[in-house]
Amino acid sequence: MLSAGRRLIPLGEGAGRRLPPSTYGRLAAAVQMRPAGCAVLALLIAVLGGFFGLPSWGAEGPVRIVALGDSLTAGFGLPAEAAFPVRLEKALNDKGLAVEIANAGVSGDTMSGGLDRLDWSVPEGTEAVILELGANDMLRGLDPQVTNKALAEILRRLSDRHIDVLLCGMLAAPNLGADYAASFNRIYPDAAAARHLLLYPFFLEGVAGHPDLIQRDGLHPTAAGVDVIVAGILPKAEELVAQVRSHRS
């Protein structure tokens, strides 16, 4: 499922640690006009938005989300515009939901690596995190207790900061053995149940086991594969946005 031949290879191995581009701090042009002109422009935007089916986002501002993950989040082997955070942001925007999703995916990262960089990967002002880590822990055969401990600390620190979380699960490759799989596979549902988190049980649902949706390395999704992931996780992402909105009020 996630192995290359008989050798297990960490996702994104050999690609180096790519610093994630941030979608925060986007520059906007300042336009000065008289109050009457502003009112006319606002009315025109509202009319055209309704006519063309554009999203009506209101004055609350977009929900600021960080996708914290490994190469599956970073978009290894894909153009930047095909990466999971970009495609999910577009899918949510297309549904009229104002979100900005920062790509904090680092190829080859483990759960412990995500913990080490948590503070700078999830900056102040972040309202929600889509947490996709652990595939490399599994591929390296790391002790599931180590992964579980790092995950628990990530979740504790995000909770202390009042950041909502959508936890993306991972499943162990069958060739790691039944005992390892049983221990690893329960990490995510147990953590989600303990903290009452939103859970997407298997990030690669609908992609793993489908060669036409996997790159030639046998590990990473193609652009079409990313779109399958986005379609699957979209309802949970919508719940995440609604959760953030409810906490704002």
Q: Among this protein's residues, is 220 annotated catalytic?
A: yes
- Catalytic residue check, 71: yes
Q: Say if residues 230 and 87 touch (Cβ distance below 8 Å).
A: yes
Task: Say which of 107, 164, 220, 227 is annotated catalytic.
Answer: 220
Please say if 109 is a catalytic residue: no
Catalytic member of 71, 107, 112, 121: 71
Q: Among 116, 119, 190, 217, which one carries the catalytic annotation?
A: 217
185-192 contacts: CB < 8 A, separation 24 or more? Answer: 187/134, 187/144, 187/147, 187/148, 187/151, 188/134, 188/151, 190/148, 191/148, 191/151, 191/152, 191/155, 191/167, 192/167
Match 């002790």 to its residue by tokens: 143
Across the beta sheet with 128-132, the strand order is 99-105, 63-69, 128-132, 164-168, 198-200
Structure tokens at 236: 């949970």
- Catalytic residue set: 71, 217, 220
